[in-house]
Amino acid sequence: MSLDKVLTARDLRVEFGLPGGRVARAVDGVDLDVAPGEIVALAGESGCGKTTLARTLLGLERATGGEVAFGGVPLGRSTKALKAYRRQVQLVLQDPSGALNPRHTVYDAVAEGLRIHGITDDEPDRVAEALSRAGLRPPERFFLAYPHELSGGQRQRVVIAGALVLEPSILVADEPVASLDASVRGEILSLLLRLKEDAGLGALVITHDLGLAWSIADRIAIMYLGRIVEQGPVEQVLTAPRHPYTRALVSVLPDSPVAEPIVLAGELPDASRIPGGCRFRPRCQEVASGGALKVLDQCEGVDPAVLGPDAEPHLVACHLDRVLDDPARMAA
């Protein structure tokens, strides 16, 4: 794994001004690494800030704090720097029907990236290559099709081909299969997996579906109200979740590894009214059941720090977990 092509976010913050002078902290301190050759899932409920995080990583939204860097080089603001960055980090959107200009043929849609970056040599070959890597074979058959003549799965492949044509190191995919029919999803996910295995592509897959993370991701980060509350290898986070929020999310899935379903009351609070102390406290089942009694002071008063890029692979932003975990660690 070449470290010089790692996409990193450090203490990333994105705030939006709202009418009435309130400020929504959509992304509120996020540390995240995505390296080539790994698939990282970013999971959370809608409104948790995962899409804003993705847009900021792509330079489509301006960070109000912290930094995004690629290969150790901070993401510049200049058009030229952004352009160079975008050859390396590409986007796949949720809705492939909207992501393709209805007036452009498949060929034009895929060649668009090449034209933007002024890559003019053997354009047809590059387009054909990208289409076949995305699983549209033979590529020539699709050159002249318009998006409305393709099925949903084929359209998403065209979008992926449009990203692949620039030979990026990292793909950021925002709910890449959410708008596709269930039986077609697997094919698109297999494609992402194959691109990772064969071509060493890295991917950040944003999803609300933990099953999807289980199918393809190596690591997973669980986001709650603008902050990552737990991250680590998929096997550990999903089969032995440690943050109460992750436990609740996993518990409501069918045949869940968490025995009793924990249905949280209420809904995700507004990003302009993030509770003080631990942001999950008002909905936390451990606080409600009294399980967190001995750390309650901390839960109410201390914001668990941003999960840093630690040597530790499995990180949890929970006061209770830290107390519970210490004796275990010492014993080991």
Interaction residues for another protein, span 252-281 (CB under 8 A): 252-257, 261, 263-265, 267-268
At residue 319, what is the residue type?
H
**Residue 153 binding another protein, by CB under 8 A:** yes
**Residue 232 binding another protein, by CB under 8 A:** no
In the complex, the smallest distance separating the C-beta of residue 25 from another protein, rounded to whole angstroms, is 19
Q: Residue 1: helix, strand or coil by DSSP?
A: coil
**Residue 113 binding another protein, by CB under 8 A:** yes
In the complex, the smallest distance separating the C-beta of residue 285 from another protein, rounded to whole angstroms, is 12
In the complex, the smallest distance separating the C-beta of residue 331 from another protein, rounded to whole angstroms, is 25
CB 102 within 8 A of CB 148: yes
Q: In the chain, what's the furthest Cα-to-Cα distance?
A: 66
Among 11-19, 122-130, 271-279, 301-309, which window interacts with another protein (CB under 8 A)? 122-130
CB 224 within 8 A of CB 245: yes
Residues 6+ apart with CB under 8 A from 131: 106, 110, 137, 139, 142, 157, 158, 161
E-strand spans in the chain?
7-17, 23-34, 39-43, 65-70, 73-74, 89-92, 170-174, 202-207, 219-224, 227-233, 315-316
CA proximity to 309, closest of 29, 28, 56 = 29
If binding means CB under 8 A, how many residues of this protein chain bind another protein? 84
CA separation for the pair 132, 137 (Å, rounded): 5
E-strand spans in 114-266?
170-174, 202-207, 219-224, 227-233
Among 66-74, 179-187, 303-311, 312-320, which window interacts with another protein (CB under 8 A)? 179-187
Residues 202-231, one symbol each (x = binds another protein by CB under 8 A, - = not), give ------xxxxx-xxx---------------
Among 20-28, 162-170, 272-280, 315-323, which window interacts with another protein (CB under 8 A)? 162-170
Closer CB to another protein, residue 238 or residue 306? 238
**Residue 199 binding another protein, by CB under 8 A:** no
Chain position carrying tokens 């925002």: 174
DSSP assignments along 269-303, one per residue: PPTTSPPSSSTTGGG-HHHHHTTTGGGHHHHHH-P
Residues 6+ apart with CB under 8 A from 67: 9, 10, 11, 12, 74, 75
Residues 71-90, one symbol each (x = binds another protein by CB under 8 A, - = not), give --------x--xx--xx--x
In the complex, the smallest distance separating the C-beta of residue 85 from another protein, rounded to whole angstroms, is 8
In the complex, the smallest distance separating the C-beta of residue 104 from another protein, rounded to whole angstroms, is 8
Residues 288-327 that bind another protein (CB under 8 A): none
Closer CB to another protein, residue 89 or residue 295? 89
**Residue 37 binding another protein, by CB under 8 A:** no
Closer CB to another protein, residue 165 or residue 306? 165
User: 241-259 as b/e, with b when 16 or more CB fall inside 10 Å?
Assistant: bbbbbbbbbbbeeeebebe
CA separation for the pair 304, 281 (Å, rounded): 11
Task: Work out the number of other CB atoms within 10 angstroms of the CB of residue 101.
Answer: 12
Among 20-28, 106-114, 289-297, 322-330, which window interacts with another protein (CB under 8 A)? 106-114
User: Which of residues 77, 103, 259, 330 is near another protein by CB under 8 A?
Assistant: 103
User: Which of residues 144, 199, 302, 323 is near another protein by CB under 8 A?
Assistant: 144
**Residue 160 binding another protein, by CB under 8 A:** no
**Residue 95 binding another protein, by CB under 8 A:** yes
89-92 and 227-233 beta bridge pairing? unpaired
Closer CB to another protein, residue 124 or residue 309? 124
**Residue 130 binding another protein, by CB under 8 A:** no
